[in-house]
Amino acid sequence: MRDFFQEQLNQLNQELIRMGAACEEIIELASRSLTDYSVDLAKSVSTVGAQIDESERTIETICMKLLLRQQPVARDLRVISAAMKMITDMERIGDQAEDIVEIVPHLTAYPDAKFPKIREMEKAAQSMVTEAVDAYVKQDLEMARKVMIHDDVVDTYFTKVKTALIDVIASHPSEGEYALDLLMIAKYFERIGDHCTNIAEWVEFSVTGVHKDCQ
C-alpha cells in the first residue's frame, strides 16, 4: 500500500515539475514578446497557458484521489495540501504572462523604446518559479526561503521601473499611455514574484507544518 502511495506522490511531483516548466516557458515567451512580438508568438503563449490550465486540473485530480483513497496524515497530508495551494499560484502566473502579451501590441507605436529593468525582472521571476518548484520536489526548506528573500529583488526592480516611468510621464506627457502600459507589464512581473513567494511559503508549510498566515 505504501509503495502505491509513494508511486502516486511521485506522479504528483512529476506533474508539478511539468507545470513549473510550463510556467517558466510562458514567462520567457512573454518577455520575448516585448522585443519580438508576433501573432504566432501570441498563439504560442496561449497554447502554453492552456497546458498550465490542464496541468492544474490533472494535479487537482491526483491530490483528491490521494486524499480520498489513501487518507494521508502528518507530513504526507501537508505535502498534498501544499501542492493544491501551489497550483493556484502557478495557474495565476500563467494568466499574468498572457496578460503581458495582450498589452504588448499597444507598444508597437514606440518601436525604439527601451524597457528599463523589465528584462531583469523577468529573469528574476523566472528563476523564482524554477527554485520554488524545485524546493517543493526536494522538500528543501533553505531553497524555499531563498525564493522568499529573492522576492525583494523583484520588488526593487519594480520600484526602479515605476520611478523611471513616472519620470517619462512627467517629462513626455505624450508618451503617458505607453509608460502606463509598461508599468502594467512590470506590475504583472512583480505579481509573478509574489506568487512564487506564496509557493515557497507552502513549501515551508509542507516541511515544517507552519505557515505564516496560519499562526
The CATH number covering residue 108 comes to 1.20.58.220
pLDDT at 106: 85
pLDDT at 122: 84
Name residue, grid cell 512564487.
Answer: 196
pLDDT at 113: 61
The low-confidence residues of the chain, meaning pLDDT below 50, are: none
pLDDT in tens, 26-37: 998 998 888 888
Neighbours of 107 (CB within 10 A): 18
Separation in Å, CA 180 to CA 115, 164, 184: 12, 11, 6
Model-level pTM greater than 0.75? yes
Nearest to 54 by CA among 18, 9, 13: 18
CA distance 70 to 200: 25
DSSP SS3 for 209? coil
pLDDT at 201: 95
Domain span including residue 87: 2-214
pLDDT at 82: 92
pLDDT at 195: 96
Number of domains in the chain: 1
Q: b vs e for 50-68, b when ≥16 Cβ sit within 10 Å of the residue's Cβ?
A: ebbeebbebbeebbeebee
172 phi-psi bin (left φ>0, alpha ψ -120 to 50, beta other): beta
